[in-house]
Amino acid sequence: MEQRRVYLDHSATTPVDDRVLEAMMPFFKGDFGNPNSIHAWGRRVREHVNGARERVASLLGAEPREIIFTGGGSEADNLAIKGGAFALKARGKHVITSAIEHHAVLDTVKWLGENGFDVTILPVDAQGMVSPETFRNSLREDTVFATVMYANNEVGTVQPIAELGAICRERGILFHTDAVQAAGHIPIDVRTLPVDMLTLSAHKMYGPKGVGALYLRKGVRIPPLVHGGGQEFGLRSGTENTAGIVGFGEAALLALDRFENGDDEKERFLRDKLIDGIQARIDAVLLTGHRTRRLPFHASVCIEHIEGEAMLLRLDAVGIGASSGSACTSGSLDPSHVLLAMGLSHVTAHGSLRLSLGKDTTEADIDYVLDALPPVVETLRAMSPFGRK
């Protein structure tokens, strides 16, 4: 079998689209002005920042004024969670989240718990889903803020955000969703989705790293996380990352084009072929995450009687880039908190494999992975401490 190079870790990051890079290049040299300057150099750059804000807003059905650019998804999560909780602390100090959040959310909520707030961390079912009934039952008179991710980065499960948001809206509770994995991959329309805040990140949708955004519904008031010159409507001070913001805008525009072209259907087809093929060719494989309510590009499994890190190294040796879960914690030897929250044992969770497809993934790439993975598993099972008795 001739070796290929197949990158299936798009949940960790995506390559910058050539058109995004082309849009960014002028702002490293020619259009170098500070967008806050009143002279011609600054005014020209400000026009492009405003244009990018309009494009990112259009991806969500939002108004440009509702988009706050940040230094990434994690910063946007912090701004939303700390800002939302502290804005309403006089009314109550109860905050709700789920057990499977990205650490940018989970650790921030836990920090609130260490600083005067009362935190409830909701369980999930075996598919990684938050129950709307459990969510509703967790609300209290002093609940002021809730945050549940739109789609999970490790297992791909898409949450019932519309239902959860509607529950919060009935009770006047601020609701935030981390949509970093979903935005740019599945259509989101905040004109009908009952969310007050939503986080997204450029590098998850073929844009540059180091730039994210927070959708902040018009009329919601939160304090800033970063103080200084008052940029981003006073909510995120610091000279704007102009090239990154322009790249983000271009990436958002291209994402809208992919929706119109039905590219998500192609990804679903390849995702399902990959999942079905793994389960057909390898025994003792557990699909993680919901079978149908999952991101169109996301496949995740636990392969029993195997150690996941060794599997990733072997796959890398044959040209396949994959992961065992969140790239932000890939150096940890601890099993995924997401998989443990879904009820998996430590041993099973250690055999996790995440394969996330991209817009340029081909059927030949999937065939290559399906041919390469079984012998890797067979070899490792023969030598694994998690092997069969």
- Contact present, 157 and 290 (Cβ < 8 Å): yes
Return the DSSP state at 140: -
Q: Phi and psi at residue 18, in whole multiples of 5°?
A: -55, -35
Cα separation, 202 vs 69, in Å, equals 10
| Of 193, 215, 213, residue with least CA distance to 205 | 213
Q: Which one, of 311, 257, 295, 40, lies nearest residue 149 by Cα?
A: 295
CB-CB neighbours of 89 under 10 Å: 16
Cα-Cα-Cα-Cα torsion 368, 370, 375, 381, nearest 10 degrees, comes to 140
Q: Which residues, other chains included, contact 174 with Cβ-Cβ below 8 Å and sequence gap of 6+?
A: 84, 87, 88, 144, 145, 146, 168, 196, 197, 220
Buried b (16+ CB within 10 A) or exposed e, 53-67: bbbbbbbbebbeebb
Positive or negative torsion for Cα 377, 381, 384, 385? positive
Tokens coding 103: 């650490």
Dump strand ranges (E) for the chain: 6-7, 67-70, 94-98, 118-122, 143-147, 174-178, 197-201, 212-216, 285-287, 298-303, 320-321, 352-356
Tell me the catalytic residues: 328
Collapsing DSSP to helix, strand or coil, 317 comes out as helix
Instruction: Answer whether 108's CB lies under 8 Å from 349's CB.
Output: no
C-alpha to C-alpha distance for 65 and 215, rounded to whole angstroms: 9
What is d(CA 143, CA 220) in angstroms, rounded to the nearest whole number? 17
187 contacts: CB under 8 Å, gap ≥ 6: 259
